[in-house]
Amino acid sequence: MPDRDLLISISSFGDDSVPILATAIHNGHFMPAELLANCGVSEADRLREEDPHTGEMAALFPNHIILQTSRFAIDLNRPLEKAVYLEPADCWGLPVRARPLADDLLASLREDYASWYKLLRYHVERLLARHPFLVVLDLHSYNHRRGGPLAEPDPQDANPDIIIGSWCGKKFRPEKVAARVGWEKVNAVKYQQLFEIKSADILQPGPAALTDGVAQLHRIVTEWSRMHG
């Protein structure tokens, strides 16, 4: 059995008076040595399926949990029996393992999974004991160039319909996003569904994300739904 934790998670609960918890469970890129040596997926292909920078977004909230370990080691967004990819069918046809995982290593990964969810449950219940509700922001990203940075974007029906930007200290410029090479084929650009939510409304610690930011998100999504049925 490994003599250390395989799952690296950074938690911060800086303000229990705020009923918001941000998580970035696919942020990580780190692979433990014993798993990296047995991984058949290149670093670039792993990165394309991970959610880089979501940890930076989660860290903007006083209460957050950010994973540093790659989903190719253990995927916390899946049930326990599917959390460790064992064969290509588990992860988009990618050759995830050069050889089968040792039983003790698989058991250790699943123990780390169970321990992480036990800790998460503790913090959720602790916050709910103080507040009548808890908003969990489970942050993910999506790479719409599935074939690599020089590939054509995915078919339009697989691309984002809405793009929302917010940048601390700077203005989000939709026209600069729309001007990116090849982005004219992205639905959100094609149908002019690029929006800014001011950082003061969505990124600052405190209740503004609930009172102002969520309301703006709801308005944007509701309007899109009205237009597209």
pLDDT digits (tens, 9 = 90+) for 118-155: 999 999 999 999 999 888 889 988 776 666 667 776 66
pTM of the model: 0.69
130 in the same domain as 18? yes
User: Same structural domain for residues 117 and 211?
Assistant: no
Same domain, 100 and 191: no
Same domain, yes or no, for 99 and 194? Answer: no
44 lies in which domain range? 9-137
**DSSP letter, residue 6:** S
Q: How many domains does the chain have?
A: 2
**CATH number for the domain harbouring residue 174:** 3.40.50.1980
Do strands 9-13 and 63-67 pair parallel, antiparallel, or not at all (unpaired)? antiparallel
Which residues, given as ranges, of the chain have pLDDT below 50? 1-3
Kindly state whether residue 223 falls inside one of the protein's structural domains: yes
Sequence-distant (≥ 6) Cβ neighbours of residue 137 within 8 angstroms: 20, 21, 22, 23, 58, 61
Question: Cα dist. 31→37, 68, 135, 198, 228 in Å?
Answer: 9, 9, 30, 36, 42
3-state class (DSSP) for residue 106: helix
Looking at 107, 137, 167, the residue that finishes a domain is: 137
Residue 87 domain-assigned?
Answer: yes
Residue 69 falls inside a structural domain: yes
**What pLDDT, on the 0 to 100 scale, is given for residue 172?**
84
